[in-house]
Amino acid sequence: MMPPFPRRIPNVLHQLRVRDESIGGDNPFRWEEKTTHEIVGRGKNIIFSLPGAFTPTCSTYQLPDFEKLFSDFQEQGVENIFCLSVNDAFVMNCWAKDQGLNNVQVIPDGSAKFTSSIGMDVYKDNLGFGIRSWRYALVVENFEITKQFVERGFCHNATDDPYGVSAPQNILDFLQGKEYDAGGEALQLNLSDGVGSEDKLG
């Protein structure tokens, strides 16, 4: 059974890798520690979380679609969109670069502090992932969670990866006052065989 969400987003410490040209050399980055609230800031924002960087559904649909639809979200008053995953800063920065992100900002949650605080931590030992985040998205205003979009089937060691409720298109429908999916039938994408999600669509 899915645990209840807190009223406000947790405020935990994240270890970031930040570019600093004063360092020089081939790797001008330094460590920087920031809290979730410092990163997200006030205003109307979206935080979405997923099982892992570079995984099929996340890389093929969810992250790139949030990036493409950023201006549509801005029209609905959304200031920032954040992608959070139980991955370290090196992996998240590399994934952001690989995806060519200009709009969506990534948040590393390598120790799963945010994920466990919000109750979305699940075991994915069946895929060799360890502890990861269940797929969900939040509309947040001044740190208050005003709407949540959680994929169905919340459980440990799930054999599939439900996707639909937390899709950016579905969240946009909600923000635009249209009919939206609050948890009905959705595409089930199996990641355990390593086949790209585009091969699952038929």
| Active site residues per annotation | 58
E strand or H helix at 163: strand 161-163
Alpha helices (H) in the chain, listed in sequence order: 36-40, 56-57, 63-68, 70-75, 89-99, 113-117, 168-175
Provide the b/e sequence for 168-178 (b: ≥16 CB within 10 Å). bebbbebbeee
Report which residue type is found at 125: D
Tokens representing 109 are 């949650």
Distance CA 27, CA 74 (A): 33
Nearby residues of 149 by Cβ (< 8 Å), 6 or more positions away: 136, 137, 138, 165, 166, 170, 171, 174
CB 70 within 8 Å of CB 105: no
| Maximum C-alpha span of the chain | 52
